[in-house]
C-alpha cells in the first residue's frame, strides 16, 4: 500500500480540480460500462485509487485504497434528459460538477453521466489536481477510451499497475540557490485583472466561457502559425495579452508585460514516462515590451522565441526549485495554456463527438480576481475556454474579455493580419 505526504507543489494544487466533458454516441452504453472502464483506470494508475486525508498534524496525505469495496467503488451519478435543449446545456453541468464540494478523502475523482435518447451521452469528470495535470487527464481519457471499447467488445484485459511516483520529493538540478535568490524580480509591469466586486463574497465559484473552431478554421489557424514560424501557444498568449490590454482603461503606447504559460516537465524527469500520472506542470515566465505600433505577428514571433528560450534554459525546473526553497518567483500579467493536439485511437464500439476541459477550485474559491485560458485541438477542432472567479469578476465582463480573445485568434486567419499593428487591432475590439 502506498502512503505518503503531499509534497509542497502537490499541496499548492490540492485546492484545485481538473474537469472534463466527453461527449459520445453509443446505443449499447449503460452506466456499469463506465464504472468498469474506470475500475480498470484505477488498476492502471495509482493516483485514481488514492484518497487524500489529513493526519494528526493537519498535513494532507495520499493513502492508497486497500479494501475490495473501495477499489471497486466508482462514484458515478447518472441522469437522463428528455429534450435536445436540456442535453445541449452541458456548459452549466460542467461548471456545476467542478463547483461541487467533492470529498477527496473518499476518492480523487467523481463522475456524472448525462444521457439522451439512450444513444447520446456526456460523461463529466472532476479530478483533484494534486496528483495530476492536464496531460495526465488527457492520458486518462485515452485509457478510458481503450478500456471502454474493450468492455463493450466483452474482451477481458489484464491491466498492469504503474508505479505511484514521487517526483516532488527532491529535484536533481545544477542551480545555485544563492544565485537564484539574487535573480532580479520585475515589479513594474501590466497588472493582472482586478476584482470588480470586492464586497460580495457569497457563493463564489469558478465559471467559464467555452469556444470551439470548426475543422476549416482550425486548419487555417495552424497554417498561418506555421507560415509565420510561430506556435499556437504563442498565438494564444498574444491573444490573451491583447484582451488584457483592451480591458485596461488607459494603455500607454509602450507597455511592459510578464507573460506566462505552463510547461510539461515529463521529458526533463528521470524515470518518468509520457503516460505517467503526475502533477508535472511548471510555470514559464518571460518579459516583453509591446508598442502599439508593433506588428501583430511580430509580437507572436517574439512570444515564440521567448517560450523556446525558457524551455532551453530549463526554467520550468528552476521554477519548481524556487518554489520548494521559498525563493520568490516572478509574478505575471497573464497565464494561458495550449495543450496541443489530443490524439486518441478511433474506438470501434462508440463515437467521440466532443471534448471540453476546464479548471475549477476545490473547497474554496478566492475572492480575488483570477483568470485562466486552456486550449487544445481534438477531432481537428481547436477548442478553448476562459475561466474566471465569480463574483469577483462578473459574467458580462468575462463575456467581453473571452470574446476578444476569440476575435484576436480569428484575426490571425486573415492575410491582412500580417500587416496590421496592435493599435489598429485594439480599435476593433469590444470595450468593457
Quick: pLDDT tens for 317-341.
Answer: 999 999 999 999 999 999 999 999 9
Establish if 111 belongs to a structural domain. yes
Establish if 171 belongs to a structural domain. no
The whole-number pLDDT of residue 25 equals 98
In DSSP notation, 38-53 reads HHHHHHH-GGGGEEEE
The whole-number pLDDT of residue 250 equals 83
Q: Out of 100, 130, 152, pick the residue that ends a domain.
A: 152
| Residue 100 CB coordination number (10 Å) | 15
Residue 63 is inside which H or E element, if any?
Answer: strand 60-64
- Report how far apart the first and last C-alpha atoms of the chain are (Å, whole number): 54
Rounded distance, CA 380 to CA 395, Å?
29
Q: Out of 124, 152, 180, pick the residue that ends a domain.
A: 152
Cβ proximity of 405 and 240 under 8 Å: yes
Establish if 355 belongs to a structural domain. no
In this structure, the answer to whether residues 221 and 322 fall within a common structural domain is: yes
In this structure, the answer to whether residues 56 and 200 fall within a common structural domain is: no
The whole-number pLDDT of residue 116 equals 98
The whole-number pLDDT of residue 363 equals 65
Cβ proximity of 406 and 215 under 8 Å: no
C-alpha cell at 320: 519548481
| Residue 182 CB coordination number (10 Å) | 9
Establish if 167 belongs to a structural domain. no
Rounded distance, CA 202 to CA 103, Å?
21
In this structure, the answer to whether residues 245 and 134 fall within a common structural domain is: no
Which residues, 6+ apart, have CB-to-CB distance to 64 below 8 Å? 1, 2, 3, 46, 49, 50, 51, 164
Establish if 84 belongs to a structural domain. yes
In this structure, the answer to whether residues 11 and 89 fall within a common structural domain is: yes
Q: Which domain holds residue 402?
A: 189-344+363-426
In this structure, the answer to whether residues 20 and 124 fall within a common structural domain is: yes
In this structure, the answer to whether residues 384 and 248 fall within a common structural domain is: yes
- Beta strand 109-116 pairing with 76-81: parallel
Cβ proximity of 429 and 245 under 8 Å: no
| Residue 142 CB coordination number (10 Å) | 14
Rounded distance, CA 94 to CA 360, Å?
10
| Residue 111 CB coordination number (10 Å) | 20
In this structure, the answer to whether residues 144 and 194 fall within a common structural domain is: no
Dihedral of CA atoms 76, 81, 85, 87 in degrees, nearest 10, equals 30
In this structure, the answer to whether residues 25 and 143 fall within a common structural domain is: yes
In this structure, the answer to whether residues 130 and 226 fall within a common structural domain is: no
CATH assignment at residue 107: 3.30.559.10
Walk along the chain (432 residues) and give the pLDDT tens digit of each residue: 789 999 999 999 999 999 999 999 999 999 999 999 999 999 999 999 999 999 999 999 999 999 999 999 999 999 999 999 999 999 999 999 998 889 999 999 999 999 999 999 999 999 999 999 999 999 999 999 999 999 999 998 999 999 999 999 989 999 999 999 999 999 999 999 988 876 666 678 899 999 999 999 999 999 999 999 999 999 999 999 999 999 998 888 999 999 999 999 999 898 899 999 999 999 999 999 999 999 999 999 999 999 999 999 999 999 999 999 999 999 999 999 999 999 999 999 999 999 999 999 876 666 678 999 999 999 999 999 999 999 889 999 999 999 999 999 999 998 888 888 999 999 999 998
How large is the C-alpha radius of gyration of the chain? 22
Rounded distance, CA 85 to CA 96, Å?
17
Residue 190 three-state SS = coil
What distance lies between CA 354 and its chain's CA centroid? 16
Dihedral of CA atoms 39, 43, 46, 50 in degrees, nearest 10, equals 40
Which residues, 6+ apart, have CB-to-CB distance to 68 below 8 Å? none
In this structure, the answer to whether residues 68 and 123 fall within a common structural domain is: yes
Residue 207 three-state SS = strand
Q: Count the domains in the chain.
A: 2
Q: Out of 123, 152, 181, pick the residue that ends a domain.
A: 152
CATH assignment at residue 244: 3.30.559.30
In this structure, the answer to whether residues 225 and 288 fall within a common structural domain is: yes
- Altogether, the residues listed in the chain come to a count of 432
Q: pLDDT tens across 193-207, in order?
A: 988 876 666 678 899
Establish if 358 belongs to a structural domain. no
In this structure, the answer to whether residues 324 and 405 fall within a common structural domain is: yes
Rounded distance, CA 47 to CA 244, Å?
36
Establish if 160 belongs to a structural domain. no
Which residues, 6+ apart, have CB-to-CB distance to 205 below 8 Å? 95, 98, 99, 360, 361, 365, 390
Establish if 164 belongs to a structural domain. no
Amino acid at each position: 500500500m502506498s502512503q505518503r505526504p503531499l509534497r509542497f507543489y502537490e499541496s499548492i494544487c490540492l485546492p484545485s480540480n481538473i474537469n472534463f466533458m466527453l461527449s459520445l454516441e453509443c446505443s449499447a452504453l449503460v452506466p456499469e460500462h463506465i464504472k468498469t472502464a474506470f475500475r480498470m483506470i484505477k488498476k492502471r494508475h495509482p493516483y485514481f485509487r488514492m484518497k487524500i486525508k489529513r493526519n494528526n498534524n493537519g498535513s494532507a496525505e495520499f493513502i492508497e485504497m486497500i479494501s475490495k469495496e473501495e477499489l471497486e467503488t466508482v462514484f458515478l451519478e447518472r441522469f437522463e434528459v428528455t429534450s435536445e435543449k436540456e442535453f445541449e446545456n452541458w456548459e452549466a453541468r460542467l461548471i456545476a460538477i467542478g463547483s461541487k464540494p467533492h470529498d477527496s478523502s473518499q476518492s480523487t475523482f467523481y463522475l456524472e453521466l448525462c444521457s439522451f435518447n439512450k444513444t447520446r451521452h456526456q460523461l463529466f469528470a472532476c479530478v483533484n489536481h494534486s496528483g495530476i495535470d492536464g496531460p495526465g487527464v488527457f492520458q486518462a481519457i485515452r485509457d478510458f477510451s481503450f478500456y471502454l471499447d474493450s468492455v463493450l467488445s466483452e474482451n477481458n484485459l489484464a491491466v498492469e499497475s504503474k508505479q505511484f511516483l514521487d517526483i516532488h520529493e527532491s529535484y536533481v538540478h545544477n542551480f545555485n540557490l544563492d544565485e537564484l535568490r539574487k535573480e532580479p524580480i520585475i515589479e513594474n509591469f501590466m497588472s493582472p485583472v482586478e476584482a470588480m466586486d470586492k464586497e460580495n463574497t457569497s457563493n463564489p465559484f469558478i465559471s467559464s466561457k467555452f469556444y470551439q473552431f470548426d475543422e476549416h478554421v482550425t486548419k487555417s489557424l495552424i497554417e498561418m502559425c506555421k507560415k509565420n514560424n510561430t506556435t499556437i501557444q504563442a498565438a494564444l498568449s498574444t491573444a490573451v495579452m491583447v484582451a488584457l490590454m483592451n480591458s485596461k482603461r488607459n494603455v500607454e503606447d509602450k507597455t511592459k508585460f510578464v507573460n506566462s504559460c505552463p510547461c510539461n516537465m515529463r521529458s526533463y524527469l528521470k524515470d518518468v514516462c509520457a503516460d505517467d500520472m503526475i502533477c508535472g506542470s511548471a510555470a514559464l515566465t518571460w518579459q516583453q515590451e509591446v508598442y502599439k505600433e508593433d506588428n501583430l505577428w511580430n509580437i507572436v514571433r517574439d512570444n515564440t522565441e521567448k517560450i523556446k528560450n525558457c524551455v532551453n534554459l530549463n526554467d520550468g525546473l528552476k521554477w519548481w526549485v524556487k518554489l520548494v526553497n521559498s525563493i520568490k518567483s516572478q509574478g505575471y500579467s497573464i497565464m494561458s495554456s495550449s495543450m496541443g493536439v489530443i490524439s486518441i485511437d478511433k474506438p470501434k464500439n462508440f463515437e467521440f463527438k466532443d471534448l471540453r476541459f476546464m479548471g475549477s477550485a476545490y473547497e474554496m474559491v478566492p475572492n480575488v480576481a483570477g483568470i485562466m485560458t486552456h486550449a487544445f485541438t481534438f477531432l481537428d477542432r481547436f477548442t478553448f475556454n476562459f475561466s474566471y472567479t465569480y463574483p469577483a469578476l462578473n459574467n458580462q465582463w468575462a463575456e467581453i474579455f473571452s470574446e476578444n480573445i476569440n476575435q484576436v485568434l480569428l484575426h490571425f486567419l486573415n492575410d491582412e493580419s500580417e500587416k496590421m499593428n496592435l493599435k489598429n487591432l485594439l480599435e476593433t475590439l469590444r470595450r468593457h
